[in-house]
Amino acid sequence: MGFYVTPRIVRQLRPICFQLSVRYFSVTDQHKTRLAEVGKLELPKAQGKYETGQLFLHRVFGYRGVILFPWLARVYDRDLPAQNKSIQNETASGPATGDSSSTPPNTNKEVQKKTHTFYQVLIDQRDCPYIRAQTEAVTFLGNQESSRSLYAIPGLDYVAHEDILPYSSGEQHPLQHELFDKFLAHQPDKDPPFSAQDTLRAWQKKNHPWLELSDVHKETTEGIRVTVIPFYMGCRETPAASVYWWRYCIRLENLGELSVQLRERHWRIFSLSGTLETVRGRGVVGQEPVLSPRLPAFQYSSHVSLQAPSGHMWGTFRMEREDGHMFDCRIPPFSLESKPDDSGNSTDDSTSNSPSSSGSPSSSSPTTGGGGGGSSSGSTTSGGSTSMEDLF
């Protein structure tokens, strides 16, 4: 049976654990609560990075995980006032918004940029059924140029530095994931007692292009914070055109005291070729998640394709508070940029784009699951299959 450490319990236990070295966490399933030993909490690092092999609890989603390697990302936070000290903090600005609907609202203001550390991590498979986030959200295109399939690596995630709650364990196999023993070797004389194997280094080098996390976008509306992380996946040739693919991960977090439910999504997708697509629908990934003080966050992943090497997306989520108040929660605008190797052959005579955003797959989309979200479930293959072997 898997166990889920609720974020509420993690937040409550943090001061106690640090002071008294408590070694137990309350864990819950659907019907009852009991205690299970996990390990001993350590003080989070205010400075510096965590090492490969560090065990942790996720501050928001509560799952157990292990750190593989860090990423240094550019974070564009629209909640922070832009500073004039451009030498210390670069800013990003967009075109002034007029009557044109091809530009997102409020892009005429400067957005402060800062660098921040994120980590590539493995999730304990015992916790996956209890996480309010997709655990097969990291997807990639098949190796064949003509392939239109998406594949996923189960239990792989990206975690911000501040969401890491480090802990130690005396177990030789503290985490259950099929890649744990392939990537990490137990070395009890080291801290942390797990070190990277050559397999992990080779895997990171080979798959760096589609794993790389570079830009993070954040914006808060009426206490609901939306974080977007786009990833370029690659280009696929079709008889008609080149199709460029991205995946994007979205996290919604309720910072207030009242529960809020996501009712609708409204996307605008602009392509460099000059086309604009509007996508509307109920919920996301087939759900209308409730963000409550007890379970304040929800995370999902989707995909978009363009017949142009770049574009941008923005939109809103229609939210309903428990008191009946409805409001539009802004999704921060973010760019869709291809890598140089894939953008050189693009032309300006492309007359249409074919996005499959948030549950509207087009005819040129790879085989993906439907259900109002665009998460790649239809042709996704689990670890241990041919698709997993392609990663090594």
207: helix, strand or coil: helix
Structure confidence at residue 102 as a pLDDT band (50, 70, 90): low
Model confidence pLDDT, tens digit, residues 181-192: 999 999 999 999
- The stretch 42-58 carries a mean pLDDT of 96
Q: Residue 69 has what pLDDT?
A: 97
In the DSSP assignment, the letter for residue 264 is E
Model confidence pLDDT, tens digit, residues 82-95: 554 443 344 444 43
Residue ranges per domain, the chain?
Answer: 7-389
Q: What is the Cα–Cα distance from 116 to 83, expressed in whole angstroms?
A: 17
Give yes or no for residue 72 having a pLDDT over 80: yes
pTM: 0.78
| Contact (CB, 8 A) for 366 and 275 | no
Radius of gyration of the chain (CA): 21
| Contact (CB, 8 A) for 353 and 346 | no
- Of the candidates 139, 303, 145, the one whose C-alpha atom is nearest the C-alpha of residue 237 is 145
Q: Residue 35 has what pLDDT?
A: 77
- The stretch 112-132 carries a mean pLDDT of 94
Which residue blocks in the chain are alpha helix, DSSP H? 7-20, 180-183, 198-211, 340-343, 386-389
Q: What is the Cα–Cα distance from 286 to 370, expressed in whole angstroms?
A: 8
Q: Residue 32 has what pLDDT?
A: 65
Give yes or no for residue 25 having a pLDDT over 80: no
| Contact (CB, 8 A) for 291 and 261 | yes
Question: How much of the chain, in percent, has pLDDT values that exceed 90?
Answer: 57
- The stretch 284-296 carries a mean pLDDT of 95
- Of the candidates 71, 22, 44, 21, the one whose C-alpha atom is nearest the C-alpha of residue 166 is 44
Q: What is the Cα–Cα distance from 49 to 110, expressed in whole angstroms?
A: 29
- The stretch 168-183 carries a mean pLDDT of 94
Model confidence pLDDT, tens digit, residues 314-347: 999 999 999 999 999 999 999 999 987 644 443 3
Model confidence pLDDT, tens digit, residues 192-215: 999 999 999 999 999 888 899 999
Mean pLDDT of all residues in the chain? 78
Structure tokens at 77: 């936070």
Residues 6+ apart with CB under 8 A from 85: none
Which of 5-9, 14-18, 330-334 has the lowest average pLDDT?
Answer: 14-18
Cα 203–Cα 52–Cα 217 angle in degrees, nearest 5: 80
Q: Residue 101 has what pLDDT?
A: 61
Instruction: Provide the terminal-to-terminal Cα distance of the chain, rounded to the nearest Å.
Output: 30
